[in-house]
Structure 1
């Protein structure tokens, strides 16, 4: 994730928003891309002031909703054979076992699988195409898709944004004296544990031999 964050950080803010929307959108169409990692990286960049969190969340939500809708259209036209072909192309992400688990989830939870699928790596990729292939009514799909995309995008962005701000504030106020004290405590405890470990066998040997 650090590499993705550094790569995004070198881009202008507008390009970052478009990149977040694009990667998440393509992932939602059924192509395995690091959509969630991209969102997490952009949210952490927002915590450092590089981009605005609200626009990161909007970009992620739009990418998720539009990408899922396009995936739904593709899945409805191509059907299950399309998903099988995708599985052959990306066996590590969309193999027969992955497809079977996703179908079981849809059979059990119906349209709710689209909503909760936004928070699960496998269903985040397959939810749109699979809903289309299974002929889920589009209105029900769109409602679950839009709600899940908005909740996932804004909750993830602002959670990471606030965590990043807290971590940055803590590190900024962490004094050099505190750092030195922590290092000394770490070295001292390590030395004590090693000394203790070396002395314990000697002590056991003296006890077993009866030496005072």
Structure 2
């Protein structure tokens, strides 16, 4: 079956719902590949006439905002014991080091940490629960959350959609090969951004002064 014929069998409503659900759960604090799902869906939209990129971006934005808000409420109610519980359940993502790094970002940048955190995988998972734990005023959190969610979801959808359109015009004759190549392009760009973010975080951590011990 040609890839276009296969894509025509995918219900658009199912794609919208899946994107909103995965991004919402990731924003709530559950480590899921929300960015990968959004990139893949945007590529599908560029080849599937039934998937509207505007609706897709709106669903992704809604999932991000609602998920972050629920995570904020849970964090505000659960407090630090919640972070300890998450650390036991998801040690790779909620280790003490990651929590400390996220806390320093929030204490230093406040609303900007929520806004820019939407573009960084680790902070995207932490933003809602940690803002609640640190009792950031909800109106500040919501403002940064909405702006970050809309720009991240809408911008990602737009860029990847047009990348897919261009890729399809060059690779459509190769059917599945064309789709795979387009997906790899999207994932490669995402990994480059993520690596740069990790490198910047490591450099900030190294630049922080070591605690001074009492003289013997």
TM-score range, shorter chain: 0.7 to 0.9
Instruction: Assess if the C-alpha contact under 8 Å between 1:9 and 1:45 holds in 2.
Output: no
Question: Match for residue 184 of structure 1?
Answer: none
Consecutive unaligned residues of structure 1, counting only runs of 5 or more, are 1-7, 175-212
After TM superposition, the structure 1 = structure 2 runs for residues 160-199 of structure 1, keeping only pairs within 5 Å, are 160-172=160-172
User: For each residue in 1:96-151, what CA deviation from the matched residue of structure 2 results, as whole angstroms up to 9, or x when unmatched?
Assistant: 11111111111111111000000000010010000000000000110000000000
Consecutive unaligned residues of structure 2, counting only runs of 5 or more, are 1-6, 175-216
Question: Match for residue 38 of structure 1?
Answer: 37
Runs of 4+ deviating beyond 2 Å: 8-11, 171-174
User: For each residue in 1:143-179, what CA deviation from the matched residue of structure 2 results, as whole angstroms up to 9, or x when unmatched?
Assistant: 00000000001000010000010111122489xxxxx
Hey, what's the Cα distance between the residues in 2 that align with 1:85 and 1:36?
A: 25
SS of the aligned residue for 1:94 comes to: coil
Q: CA deviation at 1:11?
A: 3.9
Hey, what's the Cα distance between the residues in 2 that align with 1:170 and 1:160?
A: 15
Question: Match for residue 113 of structure 1?
Answer: 113
Instruction: Assess if the C-alpha contact under 8 Å between 1:87 and 1:96 holds in 2.
Output: yes
User: For each residue in 1:42-84, what CA deviation from the matched residue of structure 2 results, as whole angstroms up to 9, or x when unmatched?
Assistant: 0000110251111110110000000000000000000111012
Question: Match for residue 156 of structure 1?
Answer: 156
Question: Match for residue 123 of structure 1?
Answer: 123
Q: Which is greater in Rg?
A: 1
- TM-aligned CA distance change 1:45 to 1:76, over 3 Å: same
Alignment RMSD, CA only?
1.9
Q: Relative CO higher for 1 or 2, CA cutoff 8 Å, sep ≥ 6?
A: 2
Give aligned pairs, total. Answer: 168
Question: Match for residue 22 of structure 1?
Answer: 21
Question: Match for residue 195 of structure 1?
Answer: none
After TM superposition, the structure 1 = structure 2 runs for residues 97-112 of structure 1, keeping only pairs within 5 Å, are 97-112=97-112
Question: Match for residue 72 of structure 2?
Answer: 72
